[in-house]
A and B are shown apart, each in its own frame.
Chain A
């Protein structure tokens, strides 16, 4: 399996991508395959400060909850509205997007990184794939 080279990765299976001044965060295809069928998702409110390596959300699939870890420190400026219920309209969250397009429409949050923060500490696609291989995946 080939992972997009333009993204950077965490050992805990999140990805990060620069988008102007912001960083878009999601979970990798490997993580999605482990989840099989996401049923619930908890994301931090806009304005929440997240810390690199610390949990920022929770996802549930088939009775199993898993923490999601922030690839970098910063402030959440946007959540993927398609992944959340909208009480105003009654629209239900479409978690299938995470399965179908984990590197695209299945993104989770956008972060304004803390001053001086870069993505350099994260794994390249090549390093991430090597990690998966060494773990037998």
Chain B
């Protein structure tokens, strides 16, 4: 093996994230040289590389596959100052590292109120009680004998972008928009379980309850429970991850993530809502007049450009450039997204790509020839009801700045001449 090969072999190994960004910015600064010009032949091509010469690991070396070590920087992250303690806290999906519409299971953001409950599936029980003819207990095996359905749904925390009400604060779409994920759920329609127990005519509300140490509860109207809620045990084909409610969670399509009770152990039917902690002291939207909206369940249409974004600057200099992002609505699909390069003065329709599923993330692209001038990137989602994502100022006009939840205002990223990207707000 030549010295040259030895050297490239080493430098090819997982560079640190910081070094990568530094290199990227340099490349951006010196970017007027066309990529096609090269004085010396590329040793990566002219010399036999170790992976092309020697044998690799066999089939059983990675019985449950994990990402390449070069992707070690692709991970959930949390913001330490947000909460008192990581046990009752949140981390964020690295949206800027992902493409398509499906979130890999290990990257789905986490929100726990008393840490992750560790439950042996053999010890799992689901009870249905309250205003039913037959209070029932199901094992996991019982649930798996009901007819199943598969659906792709986004789950967004009501507090996603909640730190941005007073202005641009966090520098990265992972932190501003990363409390959302999108997976395919396999589960039993909740209505089948409710039919099994026989809901009495006075029943109007259901109370799903978690088995974790916060015993999470939310009041869900019976209409929604009978409509499209799922009692899910699989995500993206495999069993739920422990941090997503293993072995069973509730899926409440299009509605705020807090209602998707994890480690689901009980569903009670009642004739009134319960007004528990997470629907009174939390997850209510305080307005500037001192009054508060409650039961704001549906997630309004929203979008964000994931690349470029502060954690994923433009590193290739001027020329062909791809802008991409995600859009979603709790009220349907996203037939259209507009993109602006100049802070909202002019807009063009983005290209939608991939499946357009009800209450699922949608992927959009806008390809353009960047001339190297600063950009103010924005995206604007239109949902299938005709709702158009508002600006942050439009939202503040109605709601003030203290409502914490349901901030779906248009996000702006400022890209400078070198490609460095920052979270900003514009007039």
Question: Is the pairing of A and B real?
Answer: no
